[in-house]
Each structure stands twice: as C-alpha cells, then as structure tokens.
Amino acid sequence: MQKQFKMFSLVFYYLCSFHRILLSTLMSVPLSISLAQSHLELTHHADLKVSPVHVQAHHLNAFLPKDSEPIDEGTLSLEEDVLKDEIDTDISNEISVHEHVVSKGDAFSTILHQYDVEQEDIRKLITVDTEMRNLHIGQKLAWVLNEDNKIEHLIWERSQSEKRYYDRTKEGFKVSILFRTGESYQKIMKVVVNGSFINSAKLSGLNSHEIRAVITSLQWQIDFRKLHDGDCFDILTMHATLNSVKQHSELLGVRFRNSSKDYYAIRASDGKFYDCNGSGLASGFMRFPTVRKYRVSSPFNPRRTNPVTGRIAPHKGVDFAVPIGTPVLSIGNGEVIVSTYSETAGNYIAIRHGRQYMTRYMHLKTLFVRKGQKVKRGESIALSGNTGRSTGPHIHFETWINNQAVNPMTARLPAMEKLTGKELRSYLRRVQKVLFQLHKE
C-alpha cells in the first residue's frame, strides 16, 4: 500500500497545475462523503477522542523522487564555479549571446531545445518565416535570451550575402532581411602576445567578434589563459564591403606559434574548424559520466515547481541513481576548476572543457582530482556517494554551454569528426590556399 501511495505521489508531482487541480477536485467529492459518514459515526461514539495529525516538513521528501536532492534545495550558482578572467569579461556579450553553426542532422527546433527555449517561441519564429524549416549545413544562428529564457533577438546568417533579423514584439516576432552586395577581400593579421592575448589582439586591430572566433577555433588545442610573451598568431580573415565600407568579417584560418610547436585551425565549408589533415579539433564527449547508463531519478527541468510552495525550483541537471562507490568519469578532456565540499552539493567537481563547455558532478563520496589538474575523456575523477543535501545515493550531473545549463541527455556535444571523400578533397584544396597565406611573412 505504501509503495502504491508513493508511486501515486510521484505521478501527481509531474502533472501540470491544471490537471493537479482537476484531479484534486474529483478526489475531494468521495473524500467529503467519506468524512461526512465518519462524522455521523463519531456522533454515536462521543467517548472516542480524535488527535490531529501533524506533518513535518522533512516528511514531504517521501512524496518526491528518491535518489536525488530535495526539491527545495537549489544547485550552486554558476558564478561559484566559472573562472572569471579577461576572456570572460573583456569581450562584450560573450555570455548573453549564443551561437550555433548548423551541422548535419540539425533542425531549428532541436538546436533551440537544448537551450530550453520555449516551444511557443520556436513556433512563432517558424510561423513568421517558414524557411526556417530548411536550414543548411554551415549556416549560422545567433540569439539573445532575456531573463525569462525567451528569445529577445535572433540572427540567421543564411549566406555571406544575406542575414535575417528577428526581434520580439508583443504579438510575436518581426523579421527584417539584409542583403549584402559589394566586394570581399582577404586580410592577414599578426598578433604577438605581450601581456595578454585580448589586449594584444585589440592593439593588432581585431574586433571583439574576431577575437571570439579565434578563441573558439583553437579552444581545444591551447589555453588562452596560459600564453607567454612572444607567442604568435597569424590570422586570415575574409572581409565583405558595401560601398567601400566594411560590413563583416569571417575567420578562415589561424596559425598559432610558440617555442615548441605550431597549431592550426582552418574553416571548412560546413563552418567548423579542422586541422590540416581534415580531423576535427575536439576530442569528443561521452553522454554519461558512468560506464553504463543508470536509472534517471530526477530529470533536467529548469521550470520545476515545488509541489508544496508552488515556487520555481529549477533542476539544472540530471540525477542518476547509482550505488555508493560507483566510478564517476569525466565526459571529455578538460581542466578541473573546482574540487571541494559544499553543504548543498556535498563533495563535487566542476570541469571546464575548452571555452564553451563546463560539466559538474555532485554528491560524491571520494574525489580523485584537484583544482588545476588536466583530465582526459573517460578518466575516473571520483566515486559516487550521498553527501550534501541528498535523499539517496546518486550523481547529480550538469552540462553547461556558453554559461547556460542545458539538458545533458539531449544537448548537442562535441564529437570526434573527420572529413572524408569529396568533402575531404575539397577541404584539402582549401587548406593549401589558407596555409599559403598564413605562412607569408
């Protein structure tokens, strides 16, 4: 009976507010009849004493999913883990703007879903421009979310000559189209690090957009926070002009030189960056932080509401119910930025992967890594536990992209890629042209 009651409580918890109210109303009718009958019986037994039942606050956890953190306990804020340096603060809009290059298999809705953009916004955008149903590989999307996680502005770069802008209105979105006509030219810029990459790049004439592009292209190969004076970047960009006025630029290739090695990142026709042989620069991520997939005891839900208070209590990760002592693995190559204890998260670890990705692992028993340590994809970083605010043994796992929590189960993560066939041959021809420009002294 107790097991059935808990199951009913769990189902009731996941219903929307309207259905909860409807179900409660329907249940109240037979309950009222039952109480009335009980009252009539009690009038015939005046000597029977009835004591009130008091429910303690901590007993409410019995009605919630097991093997997860209590619903009224929010997870750690992003600011507690993100390393704040000049790359985070000196480039305008790096946090508020989200960018995506369309890849094979992408659809407009799936791209935005991983950032938890509401379906209503997606529907309105497709309604105002039905061509959004037909994205092409290499096209670019950039958008800004407001405080309510709704799209405020969106830019769709369909080609080098066409951009579409979507701005929120009271009724939905309005669209405006900009066609570029004119000439284009290539330009080589050299950046020699002196003090910091950001300042050195600005002094060399790069704008914020171009600096972000360089950082993104090489994020898997070098750490921009650990450069040395004298390190050198050769940067090839394509510039479009209209009436002799510069309109925009696109990064075509980068060569980074230090005392020991040269690194390259060259853009392919799909908008992604590869090395000189056509291999992707990212090592690829695993989907789960364990050897096998365990039961999800609490899903990702940024709009989760506390069933008692009705307040929003976001769940910014996924809880996997695992036995204590289960090995916890890093899902990708990265650097440990936090390895510590928190009253809420218990023993927990945060790992930064490149400049755009971060993962967090909470309620651990034993930590194997320390802050500043480099880890590899699949490396054991801890043993699972039940520390901090937790209702049972589990791993709370979070994935962040561009400083925003996304659903770890559905987010599009970096994959190990390599161009082949016709695409590879076309790319290698492009490489020859780009390298010729990058090696000009």
pLDDT digits (tens, 9 = 90+) for 384-415: 999 998 889 999 999 998 788 889 988 888 88
Report domain 96-179's class: alpha beta
**At CA 92, angle to CA 88 and CA 93, rounded to 5?**
90
How large is the average pLDDT for residues 404-433?
89
Position 327 pLDDT exceeds 60: yes
Name the pLDDT band for 441 (thresholds 50, 70, 90).
low
Amino acid letter, residue 387: T
CATH 2.60.40.10 for domain 285-406: no
Q: Which two tokens stand for residue 278?
A: 């056509």
- Radius of gyration of the CA atoms of the chain, in A: 27
**Where in the chain are the domains?**
1-29, 96-179, 184-282+434-438, 285-406
Q: What is the pLDDT of residue 29?
A: 44
Comparing 96-179 with 184-282+434-438, is the CATH topology the same? yes
Give me the phi and psi of 320, to 5 degrees please.
Answer: -105, 120
Give the strand order in the sheet containing 245-257: 184-192, 232-242, 245-257, 262-267, 273-274
Cα dist from 159 to 131, 140, 186, 204, 296, whole Å: 14, 9, 17, 28, 41
CA 14 to chain centre: 24
H-run or E-run covering 92: none
State yes or no: pLDDT of 145 exceeds 60: yes
**What rounded mean pLDDT belongs to the chain?**
80
CATH of 184-282+434-438, one of 3.90.550.10, 3.40.50.970, 3.40.50.720, 3.10.450.350: 3.10.450.350
Q: Is the pTM of this model over 0.75?
A: no
- Nearest of 323, 322, 261, 332 to residue 294 by alpha carbon: 322
pLDDT of residue 242: 62
pLDDT at 413: 85
Q: Which of 100, 179, 193, 173 is nearest to 142 (CA)?
A: 100
> pLDDT per residue over 173-222, tens digit each?
999 887 766 677 889 999 999 988 989 999 999 988 889 889 989 989 99
pLDDT, position 377: 93
Q: What is the pLDDT of residues 211-232, one digit of tens each?
A: 988 998 998 999 888 899 999 9
CA dist list (Å): 54 to 24, 57, 58, 60, 411? 21, 10, 12, 12, 44
Strands 318-320, 245-257: pairing is: unpaired
What number is the average pLDDT over the span 63-67?
A: 60
pLDDT confidence tier of residue 88, bands split at 50, 70 and 90: low
What's residue 231's pLDDT? 94
The least confident of 9-13, 252-256, 327-331, 353-357 is 9-13
